[in-house]
Amino acid sequence: MPGVAAKQFRTLFISDVHLGSRAAKAEFLIDFLRFHEAETIFLVGDIVDGWRLRRSWHWPQLHNDVVQKLLRQARKGTSITYIAGNHDEFLRMFQGTHFGGIVVADRAIHVGADGRRYLVIHGDQFDTVVLNARWLAYLGDRAYDLAIFANRLVTRARRMLGLPYWSFSSWAKVKVKQAVNFIGAFQDVLAEEARRSAVDGVICGHIHHAAIETLQDIRYINTGDWVESCTAVVEHFDGSMEILHWPHVRADTAPVADVFVPVAIDHRSVKAA
């Protein structure tokens, strides 16, 4: 949107875009990146969905536009680290390699402006299904495809009725007891890995459930996704962390209300939209 300056942040964390899948909301992410810039960007895994690309090739221009947008930011001086996930695990063999100014890693340590140290990792390494029963993970991936298909039908119906975007699949996830239990267990095991790594917190993705929580002595931060909820985590220049939600935008339009909608903030700072 001409005349609207992008908001500036110290660090931006994005995960689970799943480029290459039909469910990826690439147009939302492009619009988000148009209005949000940072000195450092962490791509926290599953940016590209290799699993789906192996099943059937789907790479529209919008998905290429996301890649080009990130490469342009890297050329302009933004430090970008791509943390490999399970859907783009092929990148793990290229740790330390630079692609157009974007460095690939399996994990990283981020030091916040307030001095807190965070382990940045996708999180699939601690998902027992992915780790020990890969066939079940693939089966679950197919079931997830069905949930996303249902989500598209709900979205289309709501758009016809003039209602805002709402994620049926996200709602269903938090309503299912087993999913809630899995999320809690996932948070606990990531917090334990942060303790073993002698850091103050962990920033991850993988489970498509954005959160900022304090688990005893560990700050647990999950970036969410760009398939269902369209969320990212930003670090402000004072070190405070915030989840931003970007649900009401198309790539060819301006923001409908504010430049961003805060979803969750840490206890140290309140940022107005």
**Separation CA 34–CA 31 (nearest Å):** 5
Distance of CA 234 to the CA centre of its chain: 11
What pLDDT, in 10s, does the model give residues 144-163? 565 666 666 767 776 787 77
Q: Are 204 and 121 in contact (CB under 8 A)?
A: yes
**Separation CA 18–CA 48 (nearest Å):** 5
Residue 258 has pLDDT above 70, yes or no: no
State residue 134's pLDDT score: 44
Residue 110 or residue 255, greater confidence: 110
State residue 109's pLDDT score: 98
- Domains annotated for the chain, with CATH where assigned, are 7-265 (3.60.21.10)
State residue 2's pLDDT score: 54
Residue 15, judged by CB atoms within 10 A of its CB (0-12, 13-18, 19+), counts as buried
- Mean pLDDT across the stretch 176-202? 82
State residue 161's pLDDT score: 79
* Averaged pLDDT of the chain: 81
**Separation CA 136–CA 88 (nearest Å):** 18
State residue 165's pLDDT score: 65
Amino acid (one-letter) located at 264: A
| Percent of the chain with pLDDT strictly greater than 70 | 71
Task: For residue 94, count other CB atoms closer than 10 A to its CB.
Answer: 14
CA distances from 270 to 79, 100, 161, 224, 243 (A): 26, 36, 34, 20, 12
Q: Which residues are CB-neighbours of 128 under 8 A, at least 6 positions away?
A: none
Tokens (6 digits) for 235: 């670090």
Strand 36-44 vs strand 7-14: parallel, antiparallel, or unpaired? parallel
**Separation CA 131–CA 185 (nearest Å):** 15
Residue 157, judged by CB atoms within 10 A of its CB (0-12, 13-18, 19+), counts as exposed
State residue 92's pLDDT score: 93
Sign of the Cα pseudo-torsion (202, 226, 64, 48, in order): positive
What pLDDT, in 10s, does the model give residues 199-236? 999 999 998 889 999 999 999 999 999 998 899 999 99
**Separation CA 137–CA 127 (nearest Å):** 10
Report residue 42's pLDDT band, with 50, 70 and 90 as the boundaries.
Answer: very high
